[in-house]
Copies of this chain bind each other. A is one copy, B any other.
Amino acid sequence: MDELRAWSDDELRELIEREATDELESALDDLGPTGVSRLLAELDEDERQHLWALLPPEEAADHLEAIPWAQASDAFQELPPDVAAKILDEFRSDDQADFISELDDDEREAVLREMDSEDATEVRKLALYEDDVAGGLMETEFLAYDRNLTVAELVADMRGRAEELVHYDVQYTYVTENGGVLVGVLRLRDLVVTPSQRRLESIMIDAPLKTLDTTSLEDLEHLFDSVSFLAIPVVDASGRIVGVVRRHDVEQAAGERSEGDYLKSQGIVGGEELRSMPTFRRARRRLSWLTVNIGLNVLAASVIAAHQDTISAVIALAVFLPILSDMSGCTGNQAVAVSMRELALGLARPSDAFRVWRQELSVGAINGLVLGGLLCGAAYIWKGNVWLGLVVGLAMLLNTLIAVSIGGVVPLVLKKLKFDPALASGPILTTVTDMCGFFLMLTLAGAVLGRLG
């Protein structure tokens, strides 16, 4: 990257101010997606709008497609309708649908009114699909030819469309009948090596693998797992080809979902957060998660409040309560993580809950004995009271069994109930294990109170 020029924010601001489009274009190319993303975070809204309006729409579209989605979608929403329409026109079809779906109804219509009516109809159709089905993931740029054409006719057509094809990701050519019904597929490399007078129907692969536009992301993942194709044609209910879904896009969507799962499990909800976003929006989103959690924490701590007499008799218990709470969270989260992974791989289904529970109990028993033993030893060394050791050790052992059971099974149950396991497993786990753990330790202590003094 040595040959690239480094640009300061001030230099770039100055280029925007004096509308030096050419210099700006090459500066943004030097910066690359990461640099562009950092620049956008530094500029204010007016400067960003000015920048996008200055750039040729094709350049603007390229940059918006390359930077992180959370930032690109924010930037797109800030644009005036005429600029947005020009840029939208340059996106690849699968991105068009993603960007337009981010706008509310009024804004969307304002943008679509600025577009050529044929393009607008196309975008409207794509925007109807959910993000995570074949129709929302597919591209509508594909090559399809009638089965009665010859190889020579096909090649002549491709030659004539060379300019346009630059924007296509051509690996397969689809063969249709009755003006669109998919009946075959040709690999480009087969075209290279086939005599040109042959009809497509005589060289195509019949009854090609295809998928409905309503196929879910999960099913698409399994489909691509089981075959080696780079792309699969998408058909509507009548069998007409409407697009092509690529392995690349399915894997990217799956990767985004797993990143989203990580973020949600750590309490980043309501969409990805970048620190370039407004402080109040960041604070509000994080609080929506925190306020639920503090409520659940107060609920769990009410178990301690109900046993104040026991604690005031044995103050040492106050030292072990947070340890018990934290360790149960750790053991439970391990089980949650394995369940989330096995759900994603299709190795665990909601109906496997009982098997998962058994498999967690065996690991939980071993780990509970070790952790309980360690805590028992720590308590005994500190206070020299074997009963105190037994109380905290036994509470740790029992609560480990509870934590791995909840951690292993809850994600499967949430999945079954159509809740998002990445989002809800953590708070349910910590609340229930805290309540059980506090109850166990304080009740056990209460039962042998006379020996703990």
Contacts and interface: CB of A to CB of B under 8 A. Distances in A.
Q: How many copies does the complex hold?
A: 2
A362 B286 CA distance: 13
Interface residues of A, number: 111
A338 interface: yes
Contacts of A367: 283, 286-287, 290
A88 to B, nearest CB: 19
A297 B327 contact: yes
Contacts of A159: 193
Interface stretch (A33-41, A48-56, A121-129, A200-208): A33-41
Which residue, A251, A300, A341, A346, has most C-beta atoms of chain B within 10 A?
Answer: A341
A169 interface: yes
Contacts of A312: 312, 315
Chain A, interface SS category: helix
Contacts of A272: 341
Contact of A33 (B226, B315, B322): B226
Interface of A: 32-34, 37-38, 41, 66, 68, 155, 158-159, 162, 165, 169-171, 188-189, 191-193, 222, 225-226, 230, 247-248, 251-252, 254-255, 258-259, 261-263, 265-268, 272-276, 279-280, 282-283, 286-287, 289-291, 293-294, 297-298, 300-302, 304-305, 308, 311-312, 315-323, 325-327, 329-331, 333-334, 336-338, 340-342, 344-348, 355-356, 359-360, 362-363, 366-367, 370-371, 374-375, 378, 382, 430, 434, 438
Shortest 10 CB-CB distances between A and B: which pairs? A266-B337, A255-B255, A318-B318, A283-B366, A34-B346, A262-B262, A297-B323, A275-B359, A266-B333, A159-B193
